[in-house]
């Protein structure tokens, strides 16, 4: 049996995920949703909704496409880029809502509506699987930006609490297993300004305080705590 060395354990490091895993799940959901719409087997939509709900509430071991990816596909392909798991999780929530709504529409005799909803899931899931453009993930990131600290906000950061040096500083929220976080961190360190890293896995209270809903997130911050610019 093929074994690999993983940076992130698929079932315990749930704050991050191999970026290929959501795309594999999206491909599965997309293909089966398309089959359901084309054949009229609307019960497939119900099974997909149930599968997503189980994975969201019980963990990845209850997500059959995820288990197949981690146990069969990943050992052969190797581990992909590690990313924040919250955007694809939000996309799964949206998928579960749409699939459940499609199922209910079929149950009450509104089959055209059920097919439209099922078709939307199929189209968006296949788009994400093929191109990497996850619409649900982008909605999550947009919401994170709208909720987060904004440029120009006075006293955006309490630099004394963060232990930052005096003067202008770059504040990055990161996770030790996140591939993009390392890339952003390296780029920030070429800027010449001091960089203060906040590990959200060790300091989740700071992530909540500053409404950091996705990593990497980085800001240029003035000496008075005012946010000058969002960098990531």
Model confidence over 189-218: pLDDT tens digits?
A: 988 889 989 999 898 888 888 888 888 989
CATH code at 150-230: 3.40.30.10
Q: What is the 3-state secondary structure (H, E, C) of the chain?
A: CCCCCCCCCCCCCCCEEECHHHHHHHHHHHHHHHHHHHHCCCHHHHHHHHHHHHHHHHCHHHCHHHHHHHHHHHHHHCCCCEEECHHHHHHHHHHHHHHHHHHHHHHCCCHHHHHHHHHHHHHHHHHHHHHCCCHHHHHHHHHHHHHCCCCCCCCCCCHHHHCCCCCCEEEEEECCCCHHHHHHHHHHCCCCCCEEEEECCCCHHHHHHCCCCCCCEEEEECCCCCEEEECC
Sequence spans of domains, the chain:
16-144, 150-230
pLDDT in single tens digits along all 232 residues of the chain: 456 788 889 999 999 999 999 999 999 999 999 999 999 999 999 999 999 999 999 999 999 999 999 999 999 999 999 999 999 999 999 999 999 999 999 999 999 999 999 999 999 999 999 999 999 999 998 887 777 655 545 457 888 777 777 788 999 999 999 999 999 999 999 888 899 899 998 988 888 888 888 889 898 988 888 888 888 8
pTM, 2 dp? 0.83
The predicted structure's pLDDT at residue 154: 42
């Amino acid at each position: 049996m093929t074994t690999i060395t993983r940076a992130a354990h698929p079932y315990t490091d749930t704050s991050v995920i191999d970026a290929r895993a959501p795309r594999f799940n999206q491909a599965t959901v997309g293909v089966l949703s398309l089959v359901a719409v084309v054949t009229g087997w609307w019960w497939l939509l119900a099974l997909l909704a149930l599968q997503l709900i189980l994975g969201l509430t019980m963990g990845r071991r209850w997500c059959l496409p995820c288990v197949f990816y981690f146990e069969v596909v990943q050992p052969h392909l190797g581990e992909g880029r590690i990313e924040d798991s919250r955007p694809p999780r939000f996309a799964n929530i949206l998928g579960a809502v749409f699939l459940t709504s499609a199922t209910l529409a079929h149950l009450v005799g509104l089959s055209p509506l059920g097919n439209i909803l099922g078709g939307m899931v199929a189209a968006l899931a296949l788009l994400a699987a093929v191109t990497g453009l996850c619409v649900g993930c982008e909605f999550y990131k947009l919401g994170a930006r709208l909720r987060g600290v904004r440029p120009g906000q006075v006293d955006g950061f309490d630099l004394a609490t963060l232990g930052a040096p005096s003067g202008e500083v770059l504040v990055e929220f990161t996770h030790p297993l996140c591939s993009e976080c390392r890339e952003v961190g390296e780029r920030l360190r070429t800027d010449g300004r001091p960089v203060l890293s906040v590990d959200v896995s060790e300091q989740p209270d700071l992530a909540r305080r500053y409404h950091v809903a996705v990593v990497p997130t980085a800001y240029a911050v003035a000496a008075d705590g005012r946010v000058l610019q969002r960098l990531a």
